[in-house]
């Protein structure tokens, strides 16, 4: 048995959640699970349908993006995962999907405005949409640069990846992350739900205002602040 | 066995309906069930996934919001439930969800206009949207004040909680209630269905008129009036 | 065993299709099945959840709307069914639902324009929306008048109930019918699908033109004309 | 056992995917599977519900549209399939559905603009919408002419059927194809997903720009180019 079996199992379980949560069809998504002590992550093999996955098929890759163990080719988005793991050292799970509503916002190249407490329960910021990359970066090491595009956008906007665990890549689709692969999957479903609600909110009233600061702070703090009182 | 087992079971059954009716994902909702003779209600524990719930995990709380029995922390919305039970003495079940369409109307801070008989079968009024609270109230005892915000809005608008068993809290999401927890859950599903139909009605014709009074009265009366002829 | 068991079973089977086809929640719909030789129809009892239905619970009613057999109260819409059976002598099944998209068009008081071949496969006309009744008729024998409102609208517009087997009642919801209860249920699902497609068509292009006559005729004729070549 | 059993089974399996993928209700779609050595294809019989299908019921038809084997009447769209197989010699599967969002774009007579990488993963072009035919062609050999309408539109627009494996027929609905029936079904689901995302993208921002060339090329090439690195 592989010494990586624990992250292979975690990655497998998390990948299998994506179709159950209606976040992917066919092979339109991937999840990885990292072990920072071993300096590697397990990630879905490229183009393999979810129903054919097993824990052992998860490919082991290091934070430079080199395959360490496994016979299958890793997800085509592997280098984006590697870059984020290397530079954001508190995350242990990353998810990429093309979920319908979040992808539509990414295609419109718009941040998802914070309109309500469902959103504020998870972050105090609009869900950021990183702009599409320059053509040179796209033609070069595309997936590697996608990771930097995300990180640079967070720097520019003064966002913390520990607070805001999701991003839209302009014209592409959402990436989410978390302290565990399960939390990263949870964030993908939250991102999709918030994206749908924000779409509807603008349709119902096209000048809907952003949520006011007092409500943003209250809802975020009651779940994530030092005096939080949500959960067990 | 707890002497509260009957309301724990009622609350458990009602909570489990929320994911089945597609009204919640993850832990985005809660139901409580009251026993007025005992002066308490059973409510979902905070942040516990629906698949991990059991009747025994339902927390027993009195109408002041103090936990009477149970090892788990009750829902973060418990004080809103307590306030409503204390002041509205004919209700024995309360539901809070972030269901998609109803939440979008709440985020747009709009009442849901009464456009058709599906709506009039359940209330003669637009589904009211209480405005977001003042910042001082938000920063204070937020969930407690949410209960008062709902009740004050009903008073101001001259609405009866016995006729209109649902409200949107502006920027937040719907609360519904009823004589039983099962009826409160039913009202949550009705609120969501009516919210979706009203959204579509405005999209199909942006100057769709409110339902006329004769139809409002007819449909409400045939289900709820003294000469009602709906049901067995 | 009742001598009406054959129509009770047909009505039961047809009613049970409604939740499976996502055309109703809770008790928001009803189907009836007629036997013209016996001069009666079997209809869903009022307010009974689909999961509690049995064939024996279907109520037997004559074409004047009087209950002939059964202990339960028939659907509150029974008189509408009775009027249509009495005057339209080629139909043996009627369905009423509050399906989401069709109801939204009814609430907007608009005919559903014929935009494509999916629609033309079933009728050559826009799906008509009968206007809401005068207040006097609503206050009077409402469900009985609803039947006449539908028939009068068909007369006024020169429509044939044998070709166009569906109608929207303004501010209310769709009714459909057919030579069998199963066909009437099929028509309800078609009406809902066409209503959704027409909604989307206008959203995608707000001046989408009606389908041209040559395509309307071709698609209707290949399924329903004297030289039809669809089906077995 | 028929010597065509291999394509009957392939056509059967592919047809049964359509309801599972929510691409059809009732009999609103059909799939065929071709064997070029035998010069025939197997296609769904007309108007038979999916739950009643068996491999043996698939009708064997040659590329002129003549039935070679089978007691049932083939799909009313058979001649469209025959024309495409005859002229496009690298395809072995064809699918026709009335899937909701793709059909709405067809009804609006608009190409689906390429807005994101989900689209570019599958083709570098907008998904083309062939205009409705002239009335004379509609009144004549309609399904046969539909095949030519599709091919002529590809010629006019300079599109390759090997790269762009999907088309909308104006006022009608989508057709998709592929090297295998399974790939053609996959393309139908992709077409529907891309159609929904494009609809939402325009709703969220009505001047959303087309995807820029560098991203179109990158995403298409990484999946389909000579140096592709997607899949196993």
Q: How far apart are CA C27 and CA C18, in angstroms?
A: 10
**Mutate: best of A57, A75, A108, partner D, most D CBs <10 A:** A108
Please give the share of chain A, as a percent, with pLDDT higher than 70. Answer: 100
Q: Mean per-residue pLDDT for C34-40?
A: 98
Length of chain C: 232
- Tokens linked to D132: 């409705």
Helical (H) or strand (E) element with A199: helix A181-204
- Is D138 contained in some domain? yes
- Residue in C closest to B201 by C-alpha: C104
Marked catalytic residue, from B89, B134, B213, B230: B230
Give yes or no for residue C20 having a pLDDT over 90. yes
Q: Mean per-residue pLDDT for B65-87?
A: 97
Give yes or no for residue D1 having a pLDDT over 80. no
Q: Mean per-residue pLDDT for A66-81?
A: 97
Most distant CA atoms of chain C, gap in Å: 57
- Residue in A closest to D113 by C-alpha: A107
For chain C, how far is it from start to end, CA to CA, in angstroms?
A: 35
Chain A residues bordering chain B (beta-carbon distance below 8 Å): 21, 115-118, 186, 189-190, 193, 196-198, 200-201, 203-205, 208-209, 211-215, 218, 222-223, 229-232
pLDDT digits (tens, 9 = 90+) for B9-36: 999 999 999 999 999 999 999 999 999 9
With an 8 Å Cβ cutoff, are D173 and C118 in contact?
yes
Marked catalytic residue, from A121, A141, A142, A144: A121
A135 to chain D, closest Cα gap in Å: 6
pLDDT digits (tens, 9 = 90+) for B100-130: 999 999 999 999 999 999 999 999 999 999 9
Closest by CA position to C65, among listed C47, C97, C87: C87
Q: Mean per-residue pLDDT for C21-44?
A: 97
- Tokens linked to C200: 């989307």
pLDDT digits (tens, 9 = 90+) for D45-92: 999 999 999 999 999 999 999 999 999 999 999 999 999 999 999 999
Closest by CA position to D210, among listed A206, A132, A126: A132
The pLDDT of residue A34 is 98
What average pLDDT does chain D have? Answer: 97
pLDDT digits (tens, 9 = 90+) for C197-222: 999 999 999 999 999 999 999 999 99
Closest by CA position to B60, among listed B8, B16, B1, B6: B8
With an 8 Å Cβ cutoff, are D118 and A26 in contact?
no
pLDDT digits (tens, 9 = 90+) for B198-224: 999 999 999 999 999 999 999 999 999
- Is C231 contained in some domain? no
- Is B230 contained in some domain? no
Cβ(D197)–Cβ(D204) under 8 Å? no
Q: How far apart are CA C171 and CA C169, in angstroms?
A: 6
DSSP state of A73: P
At C180, the pLDDT band (50, 70, 90 cuts) reads very high
With an 8 Å Cβ cutoff, are C214 and D139 in contact?
yes
The pLDDT of residue B137 is 93
pLDDT digits (tens, 9 = 90+) for D121-177: 999 999 999 999 999 999 999 999 999 999 999 999 999 999 999 999 999 999 999
H helix runs in chain B, sequence order: 5-20, 78-87, 100-107, 117-120, 135-139, 142-157, 181-204, 213-224
Cβ(C138)–Cβ(C98) under 8 Å? no
C196 to chain D, closest Cα gap in Å: 8
Residue C7, φ and ψ in degrees, nearest 5:
-80, -25
Q: Mean per-residue pLDDT for D5-24?
A: 98
Q: How far apart are CA C179 and CA A138, in angstroms?
A: 61
Residues of D assigned a catalytic role: 121, 230
DSSP B58-111: SEEEETTS-EEE-SSPB-TTHHHHHHHHHH-TT--EEEEE--HHHHHHHHTT--
B229 to chain C, closest Cα gap in Å: 7
Q: Mean per-residue pLDDT for B184-192?
A: 98
With an 8 Å Cβ cutoff, are A47 and D214 in contact?
no
- Is D80 contained in some domain? yes
With an 8 Å Cβ cutoff, are B72 and A232 in contact?
yes
3-state secondary structure (DSSP) of residue A141: coil
With an 8 Å Cβ cutoff, are D108 and C204 in contact?
yes
The pLDDT of residue D58 is 98
With an 8 Å Cβ cutoff, are A26 and D115 in contact?
no
CA dihedral C48, C52, C57, C58 (to 10 degrees): 60
**Number of folded domains in chain C?**
1
Tell how far CA D164 is from the center of its chain.
Answer: 10
User: Residue A119 class from Cβ within 10 Å (0-12 exposed, 13-18 middle, 19+ buried)?
Assistant: buried
Nearest to B201 among C47, C104, C172 (CB): C104
- Is C229 contained in some domain? no
pLDDT digits (tens, 9 = 90+) for C54-108: 999 999 999 999 999 999 999 999 999 999 999 999 999 999 999 999 999 999 9
Q: Mean per-residue pLDDT for D91-112?
A: 98
Pairing of the two strands A93-97 and A29-35: antiparallel
The pLDDT of residue B130 is 98
3-state secondary structure (DSSP) of residue C70: coil
Size of interface B-C (CB pairs under 8 A): 87
Q: Look up the CATH number of the domain holding residue D154.
A: 3.40.225.10
User: Residue C86 class from Cβ within 10 Å (0-12 exposed, 13-18 middle, 19+ buried)?
Assistant: middle
Q: Mean per-residue pLDDT for C49-53?
A: 95
Q: How far apart are CA B96 and CA B29, in angstroms?
A: 5
Q: How far apart are CA C166 and CA C191, in angstroms?
A: 7
- Is A232 contained in some domain? no
Marked catalytic residue, from B35, B111, B121, B141: B121
Length of chain D: 232
Query: What is the domain range of residue C26?
Result: 5-224
Q: What is the ipTM of this complex?
A: 0.97
Query: Which chains have 3 or more CB–CB distances shorter than 8 Å to chain A?
Result: B, D
Nearest to A100 among D115, D196, D203 (CB): D196
pLDDT digits (tens, 9 = 90+) for A107-130: 999 999 999 999 999 999 999 999
**Mutate: best of A190, A200, A210, A224, partner B, most B CBs <10 A:** A200
At B1, the pLDDT band (50, 70, 90 cuts) reads confident
- Is B108 contained in some domain? yes
Closest by CA position to D117, among listed D207, D194, D186: D194
The pLDDT of residue A1 is 77
With an 8 Å Cβ cutoff, are D193 and A104 in contact?
no
- Is C232 contained in some domain? no
Cβ(D171)–Cβ(C218) under 8 Å? no
At C52, the pLDDT band (50, 70, 90 cuts) reads very high
**Mutate: best of D105, D107, D115, partner C, most C CBs <10 A:** D107
How many other C-beta atoms can be found within 10 angstroms of the C-beta atom of residue D54? 10
The pLDDT of residue A54 is 98
The pLDDT of residue A90 is 98
């Amino acid at each position: 048995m592989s010494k990586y079996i624990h992250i292979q199992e975690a990655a497998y379980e998390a990948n299998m959640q994506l179709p159950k949560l209606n976040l992917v069809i066919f092979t339109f998504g991937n999840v990885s699970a990292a072990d920072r002590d071993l300096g590697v992550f397990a990630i879905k093999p490229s183009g393999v349908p979810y129903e054919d996955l097993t824990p052992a098929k998860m490919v082991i890759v290091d934070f430079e993006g080199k395959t360490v163990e496994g016979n299958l080719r890793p997800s085509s988005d592997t280098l984006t995962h590697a870059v984020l793991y290397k530079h954001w050292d508190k995350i242990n799970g990353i998810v990429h999907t093309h979920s319908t509503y979040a992808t539509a916002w990414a295609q419109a190249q718009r941040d998802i405005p914070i309109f309500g407490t469902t959103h504020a329960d998870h972050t105090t910021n609009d869900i950021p949409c990183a702009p599409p990359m320059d053509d040179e970066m796209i033609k070069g090491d595309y997936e590697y640069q996608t990771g930097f595009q995300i990180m640079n956008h967070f720097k520019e906007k003064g966002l913390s990846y520990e607070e805001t665990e999701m991003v839209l890549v302009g014209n592409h689709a959402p990436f989410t992350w978390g302290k565990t692969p399960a939390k990263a999957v949870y964030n993908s479903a939250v991102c999709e739900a918030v994206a749908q609600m924000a779409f509807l909110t603008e349709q119902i009233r096209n000048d809907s205002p952003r949520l006011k600061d007092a409500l943003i702070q209250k809802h975020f703090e009651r779940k994530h602040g030092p005096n939080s009182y949500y959960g067990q």
